[in-house]
Structure 1
Amino acid sequence: MFSHESVLLLQVALALYLGAALVQVFLLGGERPALRRCALILTGIAFAAQTLYLGAAWIQEGYLPVTNLFSTLFFFSWAMGGTFLYFELRYRIGAAGLFVLGLTMLLLVGALRRGPMISPLIPALDTPLFTMHVAFSFMGYAMFAMAFSVAMAYLMPRFLRPPSMPARDLLRRHNEEAILLGFVFFSVCMITGSIWAYVAWGHWFSWNIKGVWSFIVWLFYAGMCHAKFVRRWQGEGYALLSIAGFGIVLFTYLGIGLLLQSNHPLE
């Protein structure tokens, strides 16, 4: 599976995502139900292709294939594709999710540039807790990315807003839902990670840089779940917090993994 066929499958997914994004850009000029369905179908097939690759890799390796930079970039893009489909099917966010589609493609391009190679899983990670920890981590990241995308749409000046953009009140609620779901997913990630660390190494938390910044991410979004009830942080303030939060997420995922030494290196 990790040869020409796997590369071709991921390239097909990338082409389909690109087609969906181009259709979404075309829809900025106005609502066209047939084109919207086309964009949704393209995205759905692309996500299905990624899911097929993920399932085949999981079966072949015997564990969730998220052990190096290629596999984490791929899994992040997969989670992003699923997040976009959830919001599009439920709310028809259209143009508000363009950033998510763009980031999905960017992550997939980064994965393809690395090549579909999956590192062996060390014995300490060979546990269902590892699977849950990693899966819920990236599901949380994907929701935080959606919140970023919706926040950017919310802050767009009125004269630049395309006709297909959802109303600001709807964008605000989409942002809040993405933050809440992301916080729930990331909380599960932190809980399973703590249990896993205790089972593997005998402690619930260690002061390594990855652990500290993961806790900062959790604390930041816990604060955001509270901030939506504070009048001065509602609206534009909440959108700005969503943008800042995703910056912290990117640093925690890529900045630490690539630039600093930690127990979560990306190679």
Structure 2
Amino acid sequence: MFTTQVHGWLYAAAGCYCIAWIWFGCRQWGAGRLALAAGFLLQSLYLVGRGWLGDVFIPNPLVEGPFFLPWCLALIALVRAVTRPKLALPWMMGLVVIFSLLAAFYAKGMIPPTPKKMTLWAVLFFASESMAHALFYSAALYAMLAFSRKGLNGAFHPLLVWGFVAYTMAQVTGAVWCFVGWGNTFSWGARHLGSAAIWTFFAASLHLQFIPGWKRSNSFMIIAGAAMLFYISYGHYFHEMHFQRVGG
């Protein structure tokens, strides 16, 4: 595909996100939407191009976390830009820009997939996991802003709920993939234990609403959960940068 191994598409997408960030900061909602939509389109084309890194289309590189996560965040920002553009959108775009820059400096090649990864369950796991991460980070952002802006009280909760739903889907599809590939649904490795810790933490955060005075405590919990999520997930991503890659 024409975007395969042409990383300028990713850099151009990050540039459009930066422009959208500036426009939203200046309260130019229309121009910001156009820049955001352009960046989203460019990044979508780049992701599809990653599927051809091995000369034959393989969906696994398309949903690799460091690259698919900014796309998920941009999708959330795009929906917010259309439905509720004035609800802390410049801050949301800042989140998109940060993770897009991380993707820009990440190893661009494809980790050759083993036969155990050549299944739809693996693709569904990574896709739903990245979307859940994006929703959790977005929830943490709104939880942080809620301390200083009264209009944002509770704005993080729908994002948290949908993030938990997506992450539960990731756990289910991951368990099926694990069973198909390795004959069991769970492994006592760092990857599985990290996922279990994240799921358990956010499950506990959701239940804080049943405790008196839960709103402020829950805000702290969501922010702490996002920090833990970043430490665990990007710890794995940075480790995988040293894996052998092709097509980069």
Q: TM-score range with shorter-chain normalisation?
A: 0.7 to 0.9
Query: Which one has the bigger helix percentage?
Result: 1
Of 83, 90, 115, the residue aligned with 1:90 is 83
Unaligned residue ranges in structure 1 (runs of 5+): 28-34, 162-166, 260-264
Q: Is the 8 A contact 1:100 1:145 kept in 2?
A: no
3-state SS in 2 of match to 1:117? coil
3-state SS in 2 of match to 1:116? coil
Q: What residue is the counterpart of 1:195 in the other structure? A: 176
**2:54 is the counterpart of 1:62:** no
Aligned residues: 237
Give the distance between the partners of 1:258 and 1:14, measured in 2 at CA.
20
Q: What residue is the counterpart of 1:16 in the other structure? A: 16
Give the distance between the partners of 1:130 and 1:93, measured in 2 at CA.
37
Q: What residue is the counterpart of 1:2 in the other structure? A: 4
3-state SS in 2 of match to 1:135? helix
3-state SS in 1 of match to 2:109? coil
Q: Percent identical across equivalent pairs?
A: 22
Of 109, 112, 119, the residue aligned with 1:127 is 119
Q: Which amino acid aligns with 1:149?
A: L
Give the distance between the partners of 2:13 and 2:173, measured in 1 at CA.
31
Distance 1:98 1:243, change over 3 A: farther
Q: Is the 8 A contact 1:66 1:118 kept in 2?
A: no
Give the distance between the partners of 2:86 and 2:187, measured in 1 at CA.
40
**2:73 is the counterpart of 1:80:** yes
Q: Is the 8 A contact 2:21 2:90 kept in 1?
A: yes
Q: Deviations 1:104-160 (Å, cap 9, x if unpaired)?
A: 22222232223532222111100000000000000000000111111121112xxxx
3-state SS in 1 of match to 2:60? coil
3-state SS in 1 of match to 2:135? helix
Distance 1:201 1:148, change over 3 A: same
TM-score after normalising by structure 2: 0.87
Q: Is the 8 A contact 1:97 1:149 kept in 2?
A: no
Deviation at 1:180, TM superposition (A): 0.3
Cα-Cα RMSD: 2.0
Q: Is the 8 A contact 2:40 2:75 kept in 1?
A: yes
Give the distance between the partners of 2:208 and 2:241, measured in 1 at CA.
33
Give the distance between the partners of 2:33 and 2:81, measured in 1 at CA.
8
Deviation at 1:184, TM superposition (A): 0.3
Q: What residue is the counterpart of 1:112 in the other structure? A: 104
Large movers: runs of 4+ above 6 Å: none
